[in-house]
Amino acid sequence: MGEPAIVWFRRDLRLDDHPALDAALARGAVVIPVYIADAREEGDWPLGGASRWWLHHSLRALAAALEGCGSRLLVRQGDAGRELLSLAAECGARTVYFGRRYEPAARAGEQELLQRLQQGGLEAATFNTSVWHEPSAVRSVSGGAYQVFTAYYRACQVRLDQGTPAPPPARMAPAERWPRSMSIEDLGLLPRWDWAGGLRQAWQPGETGAQAALDRFLKAGAADYDRLRDRPDREGTSLLSPHLHWGEIGPRRLWQRLRRVQAAGNRAGPVGASEGLAAFLRELHWREFAHHLLWHFPQTARQPLRPEFQRFPWVEDDEGYRAWCRGQTGYPIVDAGMRQLWATGWMHNRVRMIAASFLVKDLQIHWERGAAWFWDTLVDADLANNTLGWQWTAGCGADAAPYFRVFNPVLQAERFDPEGSYVRRWVPELAKLASRWLHRPWQAPAAVCEEAGVHLGRTYPAPIVDHETARQRALAAFDRIKRRRAPRV
């Protein structure tokens, strides 16, 4: 029997194509799998409620998969360095294998951890288990970081094919004596009162759920992704974002599956000509770009990349913020998105942009408050992507939408939810309203509202702000920070 080796699972909760696990098995080691809940890895962005729910079920799925291979998942809590050293002493391991993380707190902690493990007599090997491209590896011609997505994406095209993904192990040699372990339930990840019914109905956390989501998408939606990805009323997205965030599917496996579909041909045309798959690949690279940015500009998790936005006159509007969080703004597409988020832990990306624009531009509330709400309620809450999305919308980040691009929630809804089925699902109090008025109920004739059972201010709120007035206010505020000059230091 081989020497024990610890494999530390982090944001890579799978057995398929897991480079750290595969390296340990290749040495003939008896693998000691462990998950360590170390709050320091999250820094000042502790896991939100929806993320904790997902993590609980993902860990249970991973534990079941390991048991199916003859192994088991150990669970520890506390300082990762201390727990790894303790675990190594208990099982006689001299090597630790784990995947790298790229968020600022986790990244800083890794450097300290590697030194502690070395001082404790352990060898540590780290691997890329969660992204296509190492954030530090893709550089501009000048050697710096990319801040424009198109240039970044172009540079990544030569780096896509990174080898054949390894299959999951069929069997793993068990330890002669398993070290101590907590139960997953002991981590206290589930809510004290059960608000997660919608999450249970919408999702299957874990590696099996990830593969099922990918299968569904490739069979039913991938070929039309370029046409349907912006339509919240249609099933045109992959729903892979939480599975990718938690590492329940690896980037090499995903790339292999995409290539197979292209090679087999589909409705969009011959190999390489699928506009749907090409659009999907491009969108996946926004995730990569987000990690690239956060790696090179770690301060952006809390601060705008564009320093002039430090002077932006954000508004303290707690009442407006609460209405936005609850889906009670009076703008149906915004409210539908916020209610979908609360019910399922997810929101369609087009609607995320509309809802975010409404908060930071119509209400002029600081983007960080919106990022915090998304962080707590999204099952795919990812620091890199959350930061990129909010700073893009606010106009203060890399490759940001121009600040003067203010999403009109009515026009956006009429374009991307033309029949109103998305709004009718999530804002049922408007379900009987005619499509002509559905996205602007405050303009509907009184008789039409009466017939549909819609009473503004009672059954559904009137708009909490006039969009055109708010738009002009936001543009005036932006103009002021453009004209001001930062003081010389």
Residue with token string 């002039």? 308
Residue 75 to residues 71, 106, 117: CA-CA distances in angstroms?
A: 13, 19, 19
Name the token pair of 336: 């539908």
Rounded CA separation 235/229 (Å): 8
Q: 42, 90, 134, 286: which is the annotated catalytic residue?
A: 286
266 in active site: no
Q: Contact 290/382 with Cβ under 8 angstroms?
A: yes
Q: 42, 134, 314, 414: which is the annotated catalytic residue?
A: 314
Rounded CA separation 71/298 (Å): 37
DSSP assignment of 14-38: -STT-HHHHHHHHTT-EEEEEEEE-
Evaluate the CA torsion angle 102, 165, 246, 187 in order and state its sign: negative
CA-closest candidate to residue 266, choices 220, 205, 322: 220
429 in active site: no
Q: Is 347 exposed, middle or buried (0-12, 13-18, 19+ CB in 10 A)?
A: buried
Rounded CA separation 397/356 (Å): 14
Rounded CA separation 205/436 (Å): 39
Q: 42, 90, 134, 283: which is the annotated catalytic residue?
A: 283
Q: Contact 205/58 with Cβ under 8 angstroms?
A: yes
Partners of 126 in the beta sheet?
Answer: 98
Alpha helices in 203-250 (DSSP H): 207-220, 225-228, 241-245
The SS3 assignment for 353 reads: helix
349 in active site: yes
CA-closest candidate to residue 103, choices 291, 288, 374, 285: 291
Alpha helices in 11-103 (DSSP H): 19-26, 49-68, 80-91
Q: 375, 390, 392, 426: which is the annotated catalytic residue?
A: 390
Residue with token string 């590696």? 207
Kindly report each contact of residues 451-458 with a partner whose C-beta sits within 8 Å and lies 24 or more positions away, as own/partner. Answer: 453/429, 454/429, 454/430, 456/330
128 in active site: no
The SS3 assignment for 7 reads: strand
Residue 303 to residues 21, 64, 104, 245, 390: CA-CA distances in angstroms?
A: 36, 41, 13, 23, 11
Name the token pair of 313: 């006159």
Q: 134, 349, 408, 442: which is the annotated catalytic residue?
A: 349
Q: 8, 324, 367, 375: which is the annotated catalytic residue?
A: 367
CA 346-350-356 angle, 5° bins:
80
Q: Which residues are the active-site residues?
A: 283, 286, 314, 349, 367, 390
